Amino acid sequence: MHIRHVRNELLGALQTVVGVVERRQTLPILSNVFLEARDAELVVRATDLEIEMEVSTPVQNLKPGKVTAPARKLYDILRGLSEGAEVSFEIAEEGRMLVRSGKSRFTLATLGAEEFPSLAGIQADTQVTLTHKALRSLIERVSFAMAQQDVRYYLNGMLLHIGPQWVRAVATDGHRLAMSELALETGVKEDLQIILPRKAVLELARLLDGGDAEVTLSIGGGQIQVQLLNLRITSKLIDGRFPDYERVIPDSQDRRVLGQREKVRAALSRAAILSNEKFRGVRLQLEPDLLRIQTQNPEREEAEEEVEVELDGEPMEIGFNVTYLLDALDAMKTENFVLELRGPDASGLLFEAGESTHSKYVVMPMRL
Amino acid sequence: MLGSVKMTTIKQLPEVLINQIKAGEVVERPAAVVKELVENALDAGARRVVVELEQGGLRRILVRDDGRGIPREELPLALARHATSKIASLDDLERVASLGFRGEALASILAVSRLSLSSRTAVEPHGWRLGGEGGLASAEPVPAAQAQGTAVEVLDLFFSTPARRKFMKSPGTEARHVETALRRLALARPDVAFALSHDGRRLLDVEPAEDAAANERRLAAVCGAEFLANAIYREAELGGLRLAGWIALPSFSRAQPDLQFLTVNGRGVRDRLLGAALRRAYADALHSTRHPAFVLALTLDPAAVDVNVHPQKTEVRFREAARVHDFLFGLVHRWLRELRPEPEHHHGVGFGSAAEPAREPQPYALPLSTAPRLGEPPGRYFAAPAASAPTWAGLAEVSRAAVPAPPGATSPVEHPLGYAVAQLHGIFILAQNARGLIVVDMHAAHERVLYERYKRELAEGGVPSQALLAPVLVNLPEDEAEAAETQSATLLAAGLQVDRSGPGQLLVRATPALLPSEAVVDLLRQVLGRSSDSGSHAHLGEVLDAQHRVLAEMACKAAIKANRVMSLSEMNALLRDMEQTELAGQCNHGRPTWVQVELAELDRLFLRGR
């Protein structure tokens, strides 16, 4: 293999895939990136056995061939070279890869390209097409609620529930839940539920732009594949049963608070400074036309904020983890929001006020 | 070889073999023989017990007392199995107050050794002996020279059971075991004189303690002067339970649990439940690998204890196990927490020669129960139990709510920890008080101050609890689910809301906000499992303990670190905080936070005043 190309393009390709390479590896080849020169392209592929990303970029192909080289190091080298410099990759003696640019020379150790693992080609049973913007919005509105390294492995990801008329994204960590719905003629006959692993969700969020270009999700055989221009993401799905989210979302509550999202958000984040750093408890006192926010930390420091809101229903007091409230408010876009409550021991429901958007946020209370 | 067991007929075992099997339960080593014989002596009202050993007791054991003695005609019966004068009916067994009651000891020892029994009652002109050279239980007693009381001589222990004999350790080791056993008995009965010699060498010799001072001397002889110098005496009584004895300061911890003497109605026991109660009481102040030291006597109605659990009677069972646990834990926990810095009672650093006991004879003259320590308002320790309502929940509350005295109230004259003079290497605070130099590890001290404050906040403000979106189902044994249901209020107070949803099923609805919720299910299983093992709900407190560990981590992170420059006023403020903080002598990991260096020790360093 011998290719030549400008540094920026090569760096861009590597940057796209290097995120899936785990820093610590027991399987040495997984810290490498797969490189193949074919036709007028360089294919760059990285995997952690759960997710695989493959990007292709046009290059000057002097000699076809394939190899794997240390991903991080190659990425760092490219990053350190000056912009616009011309770089060449070449397989040299003893299976080493020579990286050259101007007066710089790097010889990298390689491993055989044949042994590089690949997620088997996907058998797509279902295909759903939607815009970049719509998919990105679904992810952005719920991904913060995904669990992280929870023993309930099915929570460490995002549920995509695909019905004939809509697609829903749902995430929960057991204490709060986020759900967003997109109206779409999906073409599926029966409801389909899949759980995307956390890493795939985060990579997708990073790579999707906000445009109207279309993106197709191919689902089948316990895998999902997303094709984005010259980039292909393949991920295994989490094999598990996601909790019945529809049962958790309360339908009617007897207290309704209408507030200005930005004002309440700012007041909560100020009050959060003096909440207990471990469990971030905040006390909400609802009075007619007034929301009082109180926090206290172990040093006995206290914060109190008052924000004007409209309360429909009886006054009450309730405690929450302030992070859960802030995450939900941050994910919203509208000027006003609604918080619906039933009592101090029951869940709170947040959603955007006004035009009927389809995102809902359920937050469980904290007894303080 | 299980497969090669021969098929044989069932037959009744010969009497000799039965006795030897039974003896295996009671007398496993010389120390057990001594324990049984000395307990007999004590039950006979002995004022003085003498034990002589040869070759670790394997060659010869002699136990002589000055008790009531056994009449001539009862001597043969005394050696028969299940013959005793201590109980006569089931009713007696249920409220047994003597140490022995099984009527087995002498028969068991007889089965595995050559035993002779000599005794003389007050009304007999001379003593009688049974056994001895070639003598058996069936033989007639012969006249013998014997003072009033009983002497039992055991020769060639385990001569008839060579297998057991092979399990014996060296004579020195066996003698040490005997010594430990006798120390336990001596601690339980301060009114009796004990002497022990091994191959002619004196190992223990204590006189009866007529008064408190003598009692402390005995304690020093049995447990060492260092223990006494680092222990405090406390006693309290509540609702028919009485606890009295010495608890060592947490700074005087041991690598082995070798200084733990607990008696229940005068009987030395090693009880798991009570051991757990004491460990928990010390938990906050000791590193998990260290063991507390204590000499405690628990007294309660004999009918509330079942001692007939184990042939060696080292285990007991309580009618109200949880109540006894809470009593013991609550009291010791409070006693430890009431300690405030008292330089007079703190371990010195000992520059080489400071090892001699710090105590002079004079303080012994004070009646123990009211002996006030320097700087303590009298009566502070003992007022609480009498005044508080006799409820068991109340006991724990008293200890939690123990609010530090306002500044100055502890000592109107001088602050025990003195005044800061300098900071050393950004790690230590140097302060001076009337007795000399105080060195404080500022991180460790601050950590403890913060930790206690965090815990108080948690207790006062209620334990925060995070509700779960969907309850988590936990499958458990039925008795554990039952326990969780009946104790759900206790669990809720610790932030854990559970409902029973089936015979062996619980729904966890809310978890303590301080703990990661997935860890809570494991914790719940653990505490319920342990509670059902010990038959008490006392372990449920561990749900709170787990949260305290999180607070301890927070305190460690928030405490000032090394190389933080402190002004004198900051250092003085920390010293004042320490004086009012519970367990201020140890950081959360059990390391000491401060030491006193006496002026006298400094003088010695410079050869002054010689």
B204 vs B222: CA distance, rounded Å: 8
Strand order in the sheet with B497-502: A366-367, B465-475, B505-512, B497-502
Q: What is the CATH topology of the domain spanning A126-247?
A: DNA Polymerase III; Chain A, domain 2 (3.10.150)
B227 vs B246: CA distance, rounded Å: 9
Enter the pTM of the model.
0.63
Digit-coded pLDDT (tens) for B547-594: 888 888 878 888 888 888 888 888 888 888 888 888 888 777 777 888
The alpha-carbon gap from A316 to the nearest alpha carbon of chain B, in Å, equals 18
Which pLDDT value is given to residue B557?
A: 81
> Any CB–CB contact under 8 A between A243 and chain B?
yes
**Residue B110 backbone dihedrals phi, psi, to 5 degrees:** -60, -35
DSSP state of A122: P
Among A9-13, A90-94, B404-408, B478-482, the range with the most confident prediction by mean pLDDT is A9-13
- In sequence order, the β-bridge partners of residue B242 are B237, B299
A154 vs A156: CA distance, rounded Å: 5
A47 vs A54: CA distance, rounded Å: 9
Rounded to an integer, the average pLDDT of B167-186 is: 84
Would you call A17 exposed, middle or buried from its count of C-beta atoms within 10 A (0-12, 13-18, 19+)?
buried
Q: Is A101 left (phi over 0), alpha (psi -120 to 50) or beta?
A: beta
Q: How far is CA A220 from CA A125, A193, B263, B440, in A?
A: 5, 12, 71, 66
Find the range with the poorest average confidence among A78-92, A311-325, B403-417.
B403-417
Which pLDDT value is given to residue B384?
A: 33
Would you call B349 exposed, middle or buried from its count of C-beta atoms within 10 A (0-12, 13-18, 19+)?
middle
> Any CB–CB contact under 8 A between A156 and chain B?
no
Cβ pair B468:A364 closer than 8 A: yes
Which pLDDT value is given to residue A324?
A: 95
Residue in B450, B469, B511 to test binding to A, most A beta-carbons within 10 Å: B469
Chain A residues in contact with B461 by the CB 8 A cut-off are 296, 368
Which pLDDT value is given to residue B329?
A: 87
Give domain B212-339+376-398's CATH architecture: 2-Layer Sandwich (3.30)
Find the range with the poorest average confidence among A215-224, B85-94, B433-442, B561-570.
B85-94
Q: Residue for token digits 């204890």?
A: B305
Which pLDDT value is given to residue B5?
A: 55
Helices (H) and strands (E) counted in chain A, each on its own, are: 7, 26
> Any CB–CB contact under 8 A between A365 and chain B?
yes
A291 vs B15: CA distance, rounded Å: 86
Digit-coded pLDDT (tens) for A24-69: 878 889 999 999 999 999 999 999 989 999 999 999 999 999 999 9
Q: Residue for token digits 């958007």?
A: A357
Which pLDDT value is given to residue B174?
A: 85
Q: Read off the amino acid at residue A330.
A: D
> Closest by alpha carbon to B476, among B502, B515, B512, B495?
B502
- B584 versus A344: the higher-pLDDT residue is A344
Give domain A2-115's CATH architecture: Roll (3.10)
Q: How many Å is the Cα radius of gyration of chain B?
A: 28
Q: Which of B513, B518, B554 sits opposite A366 (nearest CB)?
A: B513
Which pLDDT value is given to residue B310?
A: 67
Digit-coded pLDDT (tens) for B453-504: 888 877 777 788 889 988 888 888 888 888 888 888 888 888 888 898 888 8
The alpha-carbon gap from B469 to the nearest alpha carbon of chain A, in Å, equals 5
Q: What is the CATH topology of the domain spanning B421-610?
A: formyl-coa transferase, domain 3 (3.30.1540)
**Whether A337 contacts A350, CB under 8 Å:** yes
- Sign of the dihedral through C-alpha A286, A287, A293, A299: negative
Q: Residue for token digits 């299940």?
A: B82
In CATH, the number for domain B15-206 is 3.30.565.10
Helix pair A71-80, A7-18: axis angle to 10 deg: 140
Give residue limits of the domains in chain B.
15-206, 212-339+376-398, 421-610
Digit-coded pLDDT (tens) for B142-163: 787 778 888 888 888 887 777 7
| % of chain B surpassing 70 pLDDT | 78
- Residue A195 clears pLDDT 90, i.e. is over it: yes
Structure-block tokens of residue B81: 């199995």
B70 vs B146: CA distance, rounded Å: 12
Residue A10 binned pLDDT confidence (cut-offs 50, 70, 90): very high
Q: Which of A175, A278, A300 sits opposite B550 (nearest CB)?
A: A278
DSSP state of B515: S
DSSP state of B586: B
Residue A198 binned pLDDT confidence (cut-offs 50, 70, 90): very high
Q: Do domains A126-247 and A249-363 have the same CATH topology?
A: yes
| % of chain A surpassing 90 pLDDT | 76
Which pLDDT value is given to residue B407?
A: 42
Rounded to an integer, the average pLDDT of A87-115 is: 91
Cβ pair B554:A366 closer than 8 A: no
| Helix or strand (DSSP H, E) at B335 | helix B321-338
**Whether B112 contacts B23, CB under 8 Å:** yes
> Closest by alpha carbon to A60, among A86, A41, A85?
A41
**Whether B130 contacts B137, CB under 8 Å:** yes
A261 vs A253: CA distance, rounded Å: 20
- Residue A136 clears pLDDT 90, i.e. is over it: yes
Which pLDDT value is given to residue B371?
A: 33
Q: Residue for token digits 């060592």?
A: B248
Instruction: List the end-to-end C-alpha distance of chain A, in Å, as a whole number.
Output: 64
B543 vs B520: CA distance, rounded Å: 8
Find the range with the poorest average confidence among A93-107, B14-28, B206-220, B317-331.
B14-28
> Closest by alpha carbon to A337, among A363, A360, A304, A320?
A360
Q: Which of B453, B464, B468 sits opposite A175 (nearest CB)?
A: B468
A298 vs A279: CA distance, rounded Å: 11
Which pLDDT value is given to residue B335?
A: 87
A303 vs A305: CA distance, rounded Å: 7
Q: How many Å is the Cα radius of gyration of chain A?
A: 25
B26 vs B33: CA distance, rounded Å: 8
Output b/e per residue, B155-171; b: 16+ Cβ within 10 A. Answer: bebbebbeebeeebeeb
Rounded to an integer, the average pLDDT of B513-527 is: 81
**Whether B555 contacts B581, CB under 8 Å:** no
Q: Give the three-state DSSP class for B322.
A: helix
The alpha-carbon gap from B433 to the nearest alpha carbon of chain A, in Å, equals 30
Cβ pair A319:B454 closer than 8 A: no
Give residue limits of the domains in chain A.
2-115, 126-247, 249-363
The alpha-carbon gap from A367 to the nearest alpha carbon of chain B, in Å, equals 5
Q: How many CB atoms lie within 10 A of CB A198?
A: 21
> Closest by alpha carbon to B354, among B601, B166, B160?
B601
- Residue B313 clears pLDDT 50, i.e. is over it: yes
Which pLDDT value is given to residue B136?
A: 54
A216 vs A226: CA distance, rounded Å: 6
B327 vs A279: CA distance, rounded Å: 33
ipTM of the complex: 0.76
How are beta strands B48-54 and B193-198 bridged, if at all? Answer: parallel
Would you call B531 exposed, middle or buried from its count of C-beta atoms within 10 A (0-12, 13-18, 19+)?
buried
Rounded to an integer, the average pLDDT of A193-204 is: 94
Mean pLDDT taken over chain A: 91
The alpha-carbon gap from A146 to the nearest alpha carbon of chain B, in Å, equals 13
**Whether B546 contacts B513, CB under 8 Å:** no
Digit-coded pLDDT (tens) for B371-416: 333 333 333 333 333 333 333 333 333 333 333 434 444 444 578 8
Cβ pair A248:B514 closer than 8 A: no
Cβ pair A364:B517 closer than 8 A: no
How far is Cα of residue A162 from the mean position of the Cα atoms in its chain?
18
Residue B533 binned pLDDT confidence (cut-offs 50, 70, 90): low
Strands of A175-241, DSSP E: 176-183, 192-197, 214-220, 223-228, 231-236
How far is Cα of residue A190 from the mean position of the Cα atoms in its chain?
26
Rounded to an integer, the average pLDDT of A300-305 is: 90
> Any CB–CB contact under 8 A between A151 and chain B?
yes
Rounded to an integer, the average pLDDT of B323-332 is: 86
- B10 versus B386: the higher-pLDDT residue is B10
Chain B residues in contact with A281 by the CB 8 A cut-off are 464, 513
Q: Read off the amino acid at residue B94.
A: E
B503 vs B479: CA distance, rounded Å: 9
In CATH, the number for domain A249-363 is 3.10.150.10
Output b/e per residue, B16-29; b: 16+ Cβ within 10 A. Answer: eeebbebbbebbbb
Structure-block tokens of residue A153: 């492995």
